[in-house]
Amino acid sequence: MNQSIMKFFPFERVRKGQEEFMKDVANVLAEGKHLIAHAPTGIGKTAAAVVPSLSHALAEGKTVFFLTPKHTHHVMVVETLKLIKEKSGEDFIVVDIVGKQWTCPYKAYDLDTEEFNYFCKKRKKAERCEFYNRIRKKKAEFREVVKKIREEILHSEEVAKICEDYGFCSYEASVEAGKKADFIICDYFHLFSEKVREALLSKLGKRLQGSIMIIDEAHNLPDRIRKLLSYSLSENTIKKAAKEARLFDFLSLAEDLEELIKVISTLGKGLKEEENLNEKKLKAKDLVELIEERLKLDYLSLCQELRELSELVLELPDRTRAYSRGVSRFLEKWISEDFGYVRSIKREKGRFYLQYRCLDPSIISEKTFAEVSSSILMSGTMLPLEMYRDVLGFERDRVLLKAYRSPFPKENKLWLIVPNVTTKYSKRSEVMYKK
């Protein structure tokens, strides 16, 4: 293994299979390709991916983005990078970024990413966020905080505590520090949600082109992207939007929303609670035409009126969510893309839900992977490799598929067969759970 790379390796010895993984990572980085790796537990995936990636990035002036789905994994990467810095003696900047709502002092945890970003944007624009405003009032202290984040390798909770002491927004501090970062730890949605990615990269002053992406627990990525691109609308959300309409004397809109619930019930007629009988596919026009027929209102006009109401709702003190915006957002998504999506209505616990679901994650991932210099996708459950390559839309001649052997002896594996236990949905019960 190249000594210029090994000087970053933070442990005394390389594990079985780990050196092979590191060599493959180094090769795909040098060739501008991608690696999809099935790497069993115990092989030392994190260090094997981080060490050659960081070495390459520092030599070539690139940025590494390490994406991981859980906050606990952020800490693991941070600790590995601390060891690397101590061992190598190299000076590099690491910044750990989590979704801004998880460190926001306003505790708006019940909002989804898009709702929170809208709430945050509105609050900053109206100068109602004291933590953001304080940054402009205390510039010298803010620069000191940013300097500390750059000089030390801190995980997001440590940054949040420092910023809490100063009364600053920790997300803004992290992003400011990230402008000079060589290595950024973040979540899947930071780079696979188009709006979030555009906003984050713009604030960082960075681009995907020329960047290196490491994706941990990558078997989760297709489903996470599908969820990011999927939307649902419940009767309960519409009822709460109708209450908002009455609060602001949008009486006609409140009546329209009550009628919308009846429209959804009509679309769901015949559905039952039983599995395989509780959902049916719809076309975009099924909802649009029924709304315009029953409400005597243009579909887009309804969306616009809901948007106007939501603006007023979010101006209320300490109000973080506008249900009217949730309804308008769903209705607008309903009439957007057809390719890669399915529309349906589902009955569950006596209520109906409209769903606009993404089936094809490559809608986003194909363009993303085409832009980056290289990417490393790794997981202990990444088989079949060909499926992940095709589902995520990789160029076949630009990707290496590799399944690494477990570092543990085969004879250590314990096989247990329990014949009277099943996970089949129809067989689930308290008795089965106890088994």
Q: CATH number, domain at 121? A: 3.40.50.300
Residue 278 and residue 368 in one domain? no
Residue 276: burial class (beta carbons within 10 Å; 0-12, 13-18, 19+):
exposed
pLDDT at 65: 99
Domain that includes residue 287, residue range: 231-358
Could you give the 3-state DSSP secondary structure of residue 120?
helix
The single residue listed with the structure tokens 């980085």 is 29
- 293 inside domain: yes
- pLDDT per position as a tens digit, 78-94: 999 999 999 999 999 99
**Residue 430 forms part of a structural domain:** no
In a domain, 433, yes or no: no
| Per-residue confidence (pLDDT) for residue 114, from 0 to 100 | 84
- Could you count the other beta carbons within 10 Å of the beta carbon of residue 60? 12
User: Is 71 found in the same domain as 137?
Assistant: yes
Q: Can you give the pLDDT at residue 240?
A: 97
User: Are 36 and 87 contained in the same domain?
Assistant: yes
Helix (H) or strand (E) holding 36: strand 34-38
Does residue 128 form part of some domain? yes
- Average pLDDT of the chain is 93
What the block records as the tokens of 422 is 């099943």
Residues 44 and 181 occupy one common structural domain: yes
Q: Which of 333, 358, 383 is the last residue of a domain?
A: 358
pLDDT at res. 427? 73
Please tell me the predicted confidence (pLDDT) of residue 111: 84
The answer to whether residue 419 sits within a structural domain is: no
> Do the bridges between strand 231-234 and strand 351-358 make them parallel or antiparallel, or are there none, so unpaired?
antiparallel
Q: Structural domain tally of the chain?
A: 2
The residues that bridge with 285 in the sheet, in sequence order, are none
Asked whether the whole model's pTM tops 0.95, one would answer no
Same domain as 33, residue 171: yes
Amino acid 256: pLDDT: 97
Give me the residues paired with residue 357 across strands: 342
Q: What is the CATH number of the domain that holds 237?
A: 1.10.275.40
Instruction: List, run by run, the mean pLDDT of 10-residue segments along the chain (435 residues).
Output: 86 89 97 97 92 97 95 92 95 95 84 86 90 95 97 96 95 97 97 94 95 97 96 96 97 97 94 84 97 95 96 86 95 95 94 96 97 97 97 96 85 81 77 74
Hey, is 109 helix, strand or coil?
coil
Q: Is 124 among the domain residues?
A: yes
What is residue 159's predicted lDDT score, i.e. its pLDDT?
Answer: 96
d(CA 160, CA 74): 14
Residue 25: what pLDDT? 97
- The residue out of 315, 343, 358 marking a domain boundary is 358
N-terminal to C-terminal alpha carbon distance within the chain: 49
Residues 296 and 387 in one domain: no
241 inside domain: yes
220 & 257 share domain = no
Q: Are residues 379 and 217 in contact, defined by beta-carbon separation less than 8 angstroms? A: yes
114 with 206, same domain?
yes
pLDDT at 435: 67
For residues 199 and 325, state if they share a domain: no
Cβ-contact 191, 67 below 8 angstroms: yes
Structural domain ending residue among the three candidates 343, 358, 373: 358
Is residue 264 domain-shared with residue 339, that is, in the same domain?
yes
Mark whether 105 and 216 lie in a shared domain.
Answer: yes
Q: Tell whether 431 is covered by a domain.
A: no
> Does residue 148 sit in the same domain as residue 20?
yes
